[in-house]
């Protein structure tokens, strides 16, 4: 920000209370004008569930890359770093209960974020860091700069409380196959040795027409199976991680949190198919995750 512009923007307010506003989650992810991915997928259901979210964008894009045109850009690392500095200056990390990260956009942003994470976790050791290591997917391959994988493995995984890769990302980070349930469990346990307390991985193949979501810690392993639907839209992993985190922050045990998250995402996919819309219907995810009647999807030991 230039000095001239800062002089115009920064000003005082006469009757503002002094009390800091509460923050539950700091969410550092991509942001879209149209469609749902990153913050544009995770934050609406979090707010529907009553959580207060401070959003830090890593990108400002017109839409996901699935369309013929894509406008906007990944934030330059100096812009991104400046936003992170502002978060720290306002002390949000000392008030928040969790830090959630997703698509970082560039290797430079990855290092800027890792530097910041080291600072804020040292200053606020009670802050739970939930890392969604966005790298790519089975049908696309990697869609980030190769150097970001090293940032995830070497700098962010050791500081994470929970990491939530899809099956492809789990393979890239662990160096092991993760296509099946048995492989996914072994790969998740390999990641636990890097530091996280929990590895939650989705899009793992099981029986024909079925997907499995796994949650693995040093002492527990849970799985939820769900039917694979004929639809491919952005944002499902972001919504899953958001719903899972909301339940865990609410004090629920991992198996129940996993059930709720899978139910919410599955309902969103069903609604999107029914409406034949090109973008995920995230409005139904949070309500579906809170339904207390008979559970659609049940977590069982893996």
Per-residue pLDDT of 8-38, as tens digits, reads 777 776 788 889 999 999 999 999 999 999 9
For 62, the enclosing helix (H) or strand (E) is: none
> Is-above-0.75 flag for pTM?
yes
Per the structure, the count of domains in the chain is: 1
Question: Does residue 2 sit within a domain?
Answer: no
Domain that holds residue 202: 22-301
Question: Does residue 1 sit within a domain?
Answer: no
Report strand pairing: 162-163 vs 198-205: parallel
Beta-bridge mates of residue 98: 25, 128
Tally Cβ neighbours within 10 Å of residue 2.
7
At 147 the pLDDT is: 96
Sorted by sequence, the CB contacts under 8 Å of residue 193 that are 6+ apart come out as: none
CATH number at residue 276: 3.40.1190.20
Q: Does residue 183 contact residue 203 with C-beta atoms inside 8 Å? A: no
Question: Does residue 293 sit within a domain?
Answer: yes
**Average pLDDT estimate for 266-292:** 96
User: What tokens does 272 get?
Assistant: 């999107």
At 15 the pLDDT is: 81
């Amino acid at each position: 920000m230039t000095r001239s512009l800062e002089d115009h923007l920064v000003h005082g307010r006469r009757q503002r209370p002094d009390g800091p506003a509460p923050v539950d989650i700091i969410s550092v992810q991509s942001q879209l004008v149209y469609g749902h991915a990153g913050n544009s997928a995770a934050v609406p259901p979090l707010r529907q569930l009553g959580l207060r979210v401070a959003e830090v964008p890593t990108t400002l894009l017109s839409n996901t890359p699935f369309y013929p045109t894509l406008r906007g850009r990944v934030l330059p690392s100096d812009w991104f770093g400046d936003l992170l500095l502002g978060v720290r200056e306002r002390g949000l990390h000392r008030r928040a209960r969790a830090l959630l990260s997703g698509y970082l956009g560039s290797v430079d942003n990855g290092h800027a974020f890792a530097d910041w994470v080291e600072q804020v976790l040292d200053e606020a050791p009670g802050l739970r860091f939930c890392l969604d290591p966005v790298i790519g997917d089975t049908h696309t391959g990697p869609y980030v700069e190769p150097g970001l994988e090293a940032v995830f493995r070497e700098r962010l995984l050791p500081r994470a409380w929970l990491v939530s890769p899809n099956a492809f990302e789990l393979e890239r980070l662990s160096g092991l196959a993760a296509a099946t349930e048995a492989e996914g469990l072994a790969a998740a346990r390999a990641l636990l040795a890097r530091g996280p307390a929990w590895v939650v991985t989705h899009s793992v193949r099981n029986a024909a027409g079925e997907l499995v979501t796994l949650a693995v810690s040093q002492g527990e392993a849970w799985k939820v199976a769900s039917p694979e639907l004929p639809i491919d839209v952005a944002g499902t992993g972001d919504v899953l991680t958001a719903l899972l985190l909301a339940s865990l922050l609410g004090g629920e045990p991992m198996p129940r949190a996993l059930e709720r998250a899978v139910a919410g995402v599955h309902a969103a996919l069903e609604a999107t198919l029914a409406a034949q819309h090109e973008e995920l219907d995230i409005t139904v995810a949070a309500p579906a995750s809170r339904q207390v009647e008979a559970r659609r999807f049940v977590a069982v030991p893996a």
